[in-house]
Structure 1
Amino acid sequence: MRIVRLVKILYVAWRHGLDEIAASGAAATFRSPWLLRAVRLLHLGRKLQAPRGQRLREALESLGPIFVKFGQVLSTRRDLLPPDIADELALLQDRVPPFPGELAVKAIEKGLGKPIDALFDDFDRKPVASASIAQVHFARLKDGREVAVKVLRPNMAPVIERDLELLRTAGTLLVKVSADARRLRPLDVIDEFDKYLHDELDLIREAANATQLRRNFEGSPLLRVPEMFWDWCSTEVLTMERMRGIPIGQVERMRAAGIDLKRLSRDGVEIFFTQVFRHGFFHADMHPGNILVGDAGPDFNRYIALDFGIVGTLSDFDKNYLAQNFLAFFRRDYRRVAELHVESGWVPATTRVEELEGAVRACCEPVFDRPLKEISLGLVLMRLFQASRRFNVEIQPQLVLLQKTLLNIEGLGRQLDPDLDLWVTAKPILERWMREQIGLEGLVDRMKLESRQWARLLPELPRLAHDALARQARPQADPAVRELLVRLVAEQRRTRRWLAGFMALTLAGFGALIWLTVL
């Protein structure tokens, strides 16, 4: 079976001309007449009229669900791909035929350990959505609540492992024969794809992601996240609250329903920056197929998120780096952008800031000559990543996910409102976040956080100082040090009383600061 699959992959690759770049690159690299003849022979019997990006997309679609998913993940690596290929791969959708409802029932019964009739009052065997990894059925629980049940495709794990092994084999060959392939680092991309796939195969992980996102937006008028029903979830089955709304890609239908599209576009930007800079936890797969817009009741004109298999997380360091970068871009402070790269440690410490500043300026100035509302934050970030490669910058995976999500949000926002000025919408959010981090409010918040440790740490300081000095004194046997230790022990009680008083005064001052801040 593996040989048959490999033969099919090779045939599809030949039919769509995916071999020409690798083979031509190898021939040019080794300057071999035999390889040049092989390249010419490969072109016999086929006509390659479509652009290379289109041919790659069509080849992946013909190879099936795993390769479609691979293309979707590959499309997020705009820092590695030529623009024409990245744009084509971004068009890949999960146009995958559903599997029979009876197989879904068997998978649910196996995953949850009960007959389908004991789990649900009603279960629709006809799927409402089918993707490369799973499909969705509507059902009703015994207590009458309507739910959506997501079920993994049967026997996905062995299929995935087989195709991943073949992908790694192909990637290894490409790296050996093509300089272009080495630049694109196919094995790193395949490893990243492997991680995404195995994360999506664990629906418990997806349910946990959804629960965290729901908690973050509890009570928010911007975003609705469905409730997860944990008693009906397993690694292969996910059961969540059924959502009703209009797919966000159906603009005319939303306009007919009276939805305010301009407000919706602004809300999308605010949702993104709230997730990134306030929560550090963001939905990283916000394409139109995963978003509804409420058209009735309390969800009217509100985003409804679906499919939580891919999320991104950011540390405080990442958030601070991104906020300062965005603000520096907005102010055209390219030197600050370069300094941030050096301070972050993502470029060698020996890098000349002036050289990096010049590269960033050359990258961004052409963008800023356009009207603000036409500037893409996602493309600016992508250009920055591309320019940074010259300086041996290793782009962090979480930032690649963020850039891909930002491009999705911008695309959606401008589809809803062509006049959306993303910079005007985003700048107040970024500036507010920066004030919260480095202003009085940020100081108070950090003091609150750190004060939990004071009662434990302050009384320990004299003992820690004593122990450190004692360790230093033992090998040297310095009389002056011994005398100092004797004095420290004699004054330890007095020091503790002084520290207790100092802590009381500090806490009193801290309380007064909070009181003044509240006023």
Structure 2
Amino acid sequence: MLTSAFRLLRILFTVMRFRLDVFIPFALLPWYIRYTLGAICSIGRKRASANKGERLRLALESLGPIFVKFGQILSTRRDLLDDDIADELAKLQDKVPAFSGDVAQAIIERDLKAPVSELFAEFSTTPLASASIAQVHTAKLHSGEDVVVKVIRPKIEKTINKDISLLYTLAHLVANLSEDGRRLRPIEVVTDYEYTILDELDLAKEAANTGLLQRNFTNSDLLYVPQVYWDYSHRNVMVMERISGIPVADITALNNANVDMKCLAERGVEIFFTQVFSHSFFHADMHPGNIFVDVTNPQKPKYIAIDCAIMGSLDDADKSYLARNLLAFFQRDYRLVAELHVESGWVPKGTPVHAFESAIRSVCEPMFAKPLKDISFGQVLIGLFQTARRFNMEVQPQLVLLEKTLLNIEGLGRQLYPDLDLWVTAKPFLERWMREQMGPKRVIEEVRKQAPQWAGQLPQIPNLIFTALSQMSHQEERIQAQTDAIDRLGKELKKGRLNLPFRLLGLLSLGAAWIMTDPSSMTHIKDADITTLGLFLVGLYLLVLKP
């Protein structure tokens, strides 16, 4: 508890030191908090010459690797951030000192339950690379294969859980301070970060993701995915094939290898759409550090992908939404774009379509002032998401990952080949997918897929029919019983309504008889006069005896 308090104070001090108070609505704070924060802010005035995006980046770097990772993920939320801040956060890099190779060796031996000398013919205690979550060592198996060994940092999960807890505290604070704070959806951003970083802590899950991606691209000339060695992999340790290639960001080396840059850029786009629409499973962390190029055939270069910790998946509804929206957008059919959002349930059913259509048009139409090849798919999605948020669109995590990946692919593709026209590659792909979804081939495929399940249910059909008929019969009996009960109740109520005047008249008769009689002088019923006695008997009959 004390540690968390000190950590929170350090975060607060860092926020003030880097003049991030520009994000705080001071007018809404009590005077004593404004005074305290103002005093602390004066410490960091020398930083004020930098813009607020740069100051935010410097602050996150000073808070350590967990906050650096948070900033990296935050930089992908361009639907929430201004471009200048997102661009600055994208510059964040892990600058984490490596932990001891002996410690890495101890983790490997603990988790794989064998000495390193038995597991590997060679093992380098000097790390090949080090990042905020894990570091990588080179090794050689006894069977002769060169491999890399990825090891999770010791005690990192405990640190991450503490920092996530603090981030939630800060997120609630920001959300409650002002409308602008709520607009940034800080709690949603922290939840997104928690989901992502906890995935990165589980190397067994990363190994499974890598295996599936590898199967999807078996014998492909577009993408190569290194082999995972399952016997040497665990939650905290993963062993995989060591690859050799040119980092995709090393443009000079690619040019020196005479790589066809246009082909390389177009293949990147093709890989993305193949993953999304053919496999429904895509690499969602395709920044340049995770991509290499095999230049064995420079005229048909092949991508190599590593680090499959963060993956996205789309169901058929998501893919249909994406394809139909992009096609409708490029046909400038904003009415259809609005209807698709409502139809998908991502905006409330009562959303006025005409108002939504008008808002989409005002955001998207200016994009067509550019040549088609210069229109960014990622910016299209960002524009659609930002507009939909104004109409209370529910957050779709899988589409956030898709948007981030598409922006990475676009940026990378145009870095390789500035004249890349994504629409030329994407449009035929989207149209072909739509035809396949609605054509007879799709129907046949669905029948083939469901046939084993239907065949297994055939012997049960007579029993299912008998059960259904029995349930219908019992249901009819219950309905009839309820109908009879309602009829009886209705009759009783009707009867009660008809008799009500008689009951009231009876009460009045008894009351009149009481008023006309002097109770003190009446010692026997025969002492009452005939009128009083008559009223009494009539009232008694109407009130009690009349059915």
Fold match (TM-score > 0.5): yes
Partner of 1:192: 192
What is the distance in 2 between the residues matched to 1:334 and 1:277? 23
Alpha-carbon shift at residue 334 of structure 1 (Å): 1.0
Partner of 1:143: 143
Task: State the AA in 2 paired with 1:44.
Answer: S
RMSD (Å), alpha carbons: 2.1
Alpha-carbon shift at residue 471 of structure 1 (Å): 2.3
Of the structure 1 ranges 292-301 and 164-173, higher mean CA displacement relative to structure 2 is found in 292-301
Partner of 1:64: 64
Alpha-carbon shift at residue 50 of structure 1 (Å): 1.0
Partner of 1:503: none
- Partner SS state of residue 78, structure 2: coil
Write out per-residue CA displacement over residues 442-487 of structure 1, whole angstroms, 9 at most, x where no aligned residue: 2221222233334344565555444333322235469xxxxxxxxx
Partner of 1:502: none
Partner of 1:283: 283
Partner of 2:85: 85
What is the distance in 2 between the residues matched to 1:53 and 1:179? 20
Change (3 A) 1:163 1:454: closer
Write out per-residue CA displacement over residues 69-102 of structure 1, whole angstroms, 9 at most, x where no aligned residue: 1111212222222222222112212222212211
Alpha-carbon shift at residue 176 of structure 1 (Å): 2.8
Task: State the AA in 1 paired with 2:189.
Answer: V
Partner of 1:201: 201
What is the distance in 2 between the residues matched to 1:202 and 1:476? 55
Alpha-carbon shift at residue 299 of structure 1 (Å): 12
With a CA cutoff of 8 Å and minimum separation of 6, indicate the structure with the bigger relative contact order. 1
Partner of 2:42: 44
Residue 438 (structure 2) pairs with residue 422 (structure 1): no
Change (3 A) 1:395 1:191: closer
Task: State the AA in 2 paired with 1:355.
Answer: A
- Any conservation in 2 of the 1:265–1:420 contact (CA below 8 Å)? yes
Task: Give 2:13's match in structure 1, choosing from 7, 11, 28.
Answer: 11
Residue 296 (structure 2) pairs with residue 315 (structure 1): no
Task: State the AA in 2 paired with 1:341.
Answer: H
Structure number with greater Rg is: 2
Runs of 4 or more consecutive aligned structure 1 residues displaced over 6 Å after TM superposition = 297-300
What is the distance in 2 between the residues matched to 1:408 and 1:195? 20
Alpha-carbon shift at residue 387 of structure 1 (Å): 0.4
Alpha-carbon shift at residue 293 of structure 1 (Å): 0.4
Of the structure 1 ranges 206-215 and 289-298, higher mean CA displacement relative to structure 2 is found in 289-298
Q: TM-score with structure 1 length normalisation?
A: 0.87
Structure 1 gap segments, 5+ residues each? 479-519
Partner of 1:105: 105
- Any conservation in 2 of the 1:26–1:179 contact (CA below 8 Å)? no
Alpha-carbon shift at residue 298 of structure 1 (Å): 10
Change (3 A) 1:115 1:369: same
Alpha-carbon shift at residue 235 of structure 1 (Å): 0.9
Residue 333 (structure 2) pairs with residue 333 (structure 1): yes
- Any conservation in 2 of the 1:224–1:299 contact (CA below 8 Å)? no
Partner of 2:240: 240
What is the distance in 2 between the residues matched to 1:58 and 1:40? 20
What is the distance in 1 between the residues matched to 2:290 and 2:70? 18
Alpha-carbon shift at residue 149 of structure 1 (Å): 0.7
- Partner SS state of residue 79, structure 1: coil
Residue 17 (structure 2) pairs with residue 2 (structure 1): no
Query: Identity rate of aligned residues, in percent?
Result: 54
Count of residues in correspondence between the two structures: 475
- Any conservation in 1 of the 2:263–2:300 contact (CA below 8 Å)? no
Q: TM-score with structure 2 length normalisation?
A: 0.83
Partner of 1:446: 446
Task: State the AA in 1 paired with 2:71.
Answer: G
Task: Give 1:21's match in structure 2, choosing from 15, 20, 23.
Answer: 23
State how 1:115-130 maps to structure 2 within 5 Å. Answer: 115-130=115-130
Structure 2 gap segments, 5+ residues each? 479-547
Alpha-carbon shift at residue 325 of structure 1 (Å): 0.9
What is the distance in 2 between the residues matched to 1:477 and 1:234? 60
- Partner SS state of residue 44, structure 1: helix
